[in-house]
Amino acid sequence: MIKGDGLLSKVGNTLNRLVMILLIVAAIWLGWKVAHGHYYKPGVGLGYNLGLAGGLLMLTLLLYSFRKHITFMQKLGKLKYWFRLHMKLGVLGPTLVLFHTTFRLGSLNASVAFYCMLLVAGSGLIGRFVYTRIHKGLYGSRSTLKEARAELVGSSGEVKSRLHFFPNVEKWLADFEHEALEAKRGFFAGIWYFLSFDIRRMLLLRRCGREIHQVLSAGRMKDVEKEAKQLVERYLLQIQTVAQFKKFEQIFSAWHILHIPLMYMMVATAIFHVIWVHMY
């Protein structure tokens, strides 16, 4: 029964991805038609209504922030559902506004509002990516550094007890762990280390593998060699989990500080644009 449920879940995920790809392709095709045709004008009829609908949807993005900070709203449903709605409206609203513009920019105030919207939408996509790196799934419960460290500590004891025949490997792993988790770096050095972490981990894994192979005298004790290499690989991945979790936490905190004012700026410029259009 469990296998059947797992298969259904995989099929469902595949179908969701397929539907999403088809919707994106359809939106691109429709956008191309609108951009090269003259089916409607931004300020009249369909074009006006698209802009109105998109603007109202983006205005409702503020409800997620209100739900988090206003006392009486904190009882209105689970926060993860509000976040899910926030993400969907954050895509649908700007899409409607794009079609409202017919993919052409007019006045200065319209251009300012448009670029503010793109800035916030891009910021939201970046935030979504970072969010998934510090949560168990997009809408799941939050991972914690403590949990990842607990796994690392457990592996650390295992490494020390089972890799004592490979002192060089133990030293390299200890140095790598210290460099990844404890070493202090400047901003740009930290970004470079973060981006190159996968390469550093794989190079060390390869180096440890060669050392283990040499200590075990090449052709003999294949099972022991395989087990030792798997242990090293698992340990390095757990170090990476902890190190990248810390960095994504920092990035997410910095992003959050930037994203909120950008969202309010977008709402302000959109309101100004609407007032300007109706006045002039």
Residue 87 CA to chain centroid, in angstroms?
Answer: 12
pLDDT at 2: 46
Residues 261 and 147 in one domain: yes
Residue 270 · residue 58 · CB < 8 Å: yes
Angle at Cα 104 formed by Cα 129 and Cα 274, nearest 5°? 85
Domain count, the chain: 3
Same domain for 68 and 148?
Answer: no
- What was the pLDDT predicted at 1? 45
Are residue 208 and residue 80 in the same domain, yes or no? Answer: no
Euclidean distance between the first and the last CA atom of the chain, given in angstroms as a whole number: 65
Could you report the per-residue pLDDT of 9-40, keeping only the tens digit for each? 666 667 877 888 888 888 889 888 888 888 88
92 and 213 both lie in a single domain = no
d(CA 133, CA 225): 32
* Closest residue by Cα to residue 120 from 145, 138, 94: 94
Residue 262 CA: distances (Å) to CA of 193, 203, 236, 254, 257: 29, 40, 38, 13, 9
**Token representation of residue 257:** 């500080």
Q: Is 244 helix (H, G, I), strand (E, B) or coil?
A: helix
Give me the pLDDT at residue 6, please. Answer: 57
Burial of 38 (0-12, 13-18, 19+ CB in 10 A): exposed
The pLDDT assigned to 203 comes to 93
Question: Cα–Cα distance between 207 and 209 in angstroms, integer?
Answer: 5
Question: Are residues 28 and 161 both part of a single domain?
Answer: no
Alpha helical stretches, state H, the chain: 2-36, 45-59, 62-69, 79-101, 108-133, 145-162, 167-181, 187-195, 197-215, 222-279
Rounded Cα distance, 236 and 175, in Å: 12
Give dist(CA 156, CA 174) in Å, integer.
9
Distance CA 114, CA 60 (A): 17
Q: Considering the entire predicted model, what is its pTM? A: 0.63
**What are the backbone dihedrals phi and psi of residue 221, each rounded to the nearest 5 degrees, phi first?**
55, 50
Q: Are residues 88 and 135 located together in one domain of the fold?
A: no
Whole-number Å distance between alpha carbons of 136 and 144: 10
> What residue numbers bound the domain in which 15 lies?
1-37
Are 127 and 188 in the same domain? yes
My answer on whether 7 and 57 are in the same domain is no
- Which of 97, 115, 133 is at the close of a domain? 97
Residue 136 pLDDT: 58
Shared domain check, 279 and 183: yes
> pLDDT below 50 — which residues of the chain?
1-3, 138
Q: 70 and 4: one domain?
A: no
Q: Could you tell me if 123 and 211 lie in one domain?
A: yes
Taken as a whole, the chain contains a residue count of: 280
CA 33 to chain centre: 31
Which amino acid would we find at residue 196?
A: S
Is there a single domain that holds both residue 92 and residue 220?
no
User: Taking a C-beta distance cutoff of 8 angstroms, is the pair 112, 274 a contact?
Assistant: no
Q: Which amino acid is at 184?
A: K
